[in-house]
Amino acid sequence: MIVLNQPQQILIRDQDNNVKGIKIILNNLMLDENQIIENFIKISNYKKLDQLIIKLSNNLAKQKSAQFIFQFISQISNLSYLELDLYQNKLDINTGVSFPTNELCKWTNLTTLILDLGTNKIGSSGIKTICQELLSLQNLINLSLNVCKNEIQNNGSADLGSAISSMTKIENLHLNIGDNQIDNQGITVLLNSIQSCQTIKKLQLEAIENKIDGIGAINIGISVSSLSNLNRLILNLNNNRIDTVGFNTMLQKISTSVSIQQIILLLLQNQASYMDNCGQTLRNFKQLNYAYIQLNKIGHQRQNFKIQHIKKCKKLIDFSLL
């Protein structure tokens, strides 16, 4: 059951008590277009902020209110941190232009962007528009982009890759493309593009419930292993079509990385043969000190796995197997 909240506007102040940011919380209110706009008119006098956080999930935002929000944000100077949550609204490519244009390009000072567009219907066409705008954000260091459940196909995945590859300063990348229509071709093109971002230190890729099989998994492994500065990797590939060979080869490719220190791997499959090969491969990581691996139905094998393999990982300090 969804609990309806009250609108909240929280001022973020610096040590001198000056307003440096605003946090607007409108989650779960089921606000319509005009009600959303009214809440932003109330704070339209703030033109100079360093931080802006907008929580607007589970409302009825469409093109009109989304355009107003982005225009409001574009008028704020010096913005370096932006968090915008439009999860589960009514942005739909079938009802017009799904995403406001010519606004993201004004945020040239941004170093951190957290953009949640999950569970809408922006489609590959909407993603293309977003990516055209992202190309202008050349100072981004931290990017978190959630576009799960948006009917995105391979061409949308390719556009995402092209946009990300242009970010020459990116260090922390979190990308959720889960529950779309992306197959081996789409994930391969995306990862090949990300592969050019040699500044990435932390990568979190969530690609659950797509159409990725063993070949796609292997290509993920090849691309990830080439990120020479990557030290933390999170991969969530639950509910795809990855077989034992694909999983093992993917992990072997990743294990050739000389920089990865932490790995979190979520892959719920019914392949008992994952276990031994997984353990043997973990021993190949040169710098690994933390590993969290979630497989399916491993039962009594867990303790044997630790005895046979984990104790032989000399640098591994913390390990969890579920």
Distance CA(33)–CA(62), nearest Å, equals 7
Note whether residue 121 is domain-resident.
yes
Q: How would residue 306 be classed by pLDDT, with cut points 50, 70 and 90?
A: low
Distance set, CA 236 to CA 177, 244, 322 (Å): 10, 16, 14
Structure tokens at 147: 């576009």
What is the sign, positive or negative, of the torsion defined by CA atoms of 84, 125, 94, 206?
negative
Per-residue model confidence (pLDDT) at position 98? 45
Token pair for 60 = 């009825």
SS3 166: coil
Q: Is the pLDDT score of 297 beyond 70?
A: no
pLDDT band for 292, please (50, 70, 90 cuts): confident
Q: Which residue has the higher pLDDT, 255 or 45?
A: 255
| Structure-model confidence comparison of residues 11 and 301, the more confident one | 11
**DSSP per position, 245-282:** HHHHHHHHHHHT-SS--EEEEE-----TTHHHHHHHHH
Identify each DSSP E strand in the chain by its residue range: 8-13, 19-25, 51-55, 81-85, 112-116, 142-146, 172-176, 202-206, 232-236, 262-266, 290-294, 318-321
Distance from the first to the final alpha carbon of the chain: 29
Whichever domain contains 61, its CATH number is: 3.80.10.10
- Asked whether 148 and 178 are in contact (CB, 8 A), the reply is yes
Mean pLDDT of the chain: 87
pLDDT of residue 149: 97
In a domain, 1, yes or no: no
Computed over its alpha carbons, how large is the radius of gyration of the chain? 21
Confidence of residue 1 (pLDDT cuts 50, 70, 90): very low
In a domain, 15, yes or no: yes
Confidence grade of residue 303 (pLDDT, cut at 50, 70, 90): low
The string of pLDDT tens digits covering residues 67-116 is 889 888 888 888 999 999 999 999 886 554 445 556 666 677 899 999 99
Residues 189, 16: Cα–Cα separation, whole Å? 48
Judge whether 127 lies within some domain.
yes
Domain containing 286: what range? 8-321
Six token digits for residue 264: 């979190």
CB atoms within 10 A of CB 182: 29
Residue 211's DSSP bridge partners are: 183
Given a contact cutoff of 8 angstroms between Cβ atoms, the answer to whether 117 and 150 are in contact is yes
Strand runs (DSSP E) across 117-196, as ranges? 142-146, 172-176
Quick check: 309 pLDDT over 50? yes
What distance in Å separates the CA atoms of residue 86 and residue 58, rounded to the nearest whole number?
A: 8
Fill in the DSSP letter of residue 211: B
Question: Domain for residue 263, yes or no?
Answer: yes
CA torsion sign for 226, 227, 233, 238 is: negative
What is the tally of structural domains in the chain? 1
Residue 301, pLDDT above cutoff 70: no
pLDDT over threshold 90, residue 12:
yes
Q: Which of 1-15, 32-46, 271-285 has the lowest mean pLDDT?
A: 271-285
Rounded mean pLDDT, 223-235: 97
Does residue 119 belong to any structural domain of this protein?
Answer: yes
Distance (Å, whole) CA 215 – CA 245: 9
Any domain includes 275: yes
Structural tokens at position 193: 């593009």
Residue 226 pLDDT level (bands cut at 50, 70, 90): very high
User: Within a domain: residue 2?
Assistant: no
> Which H or E element spans position 41?
helix 33-41
pLDDT at 281: 83
More confidently predicted of 148 and 276: 148
**What's residue 274's pLDDT?**
63
**pLDDT range class, residue 3, cuts 50, 70, 90:** very low
Select the more confidently predicted residue: 210 or 315. 210
pLDDT of residue 103: 60
Specify the pLDDT at position 2. 45
- Using pLDDT thresholds of 50, 70 and 90, give the confidence band for residue 191: very high
Position 277: which residue type? N
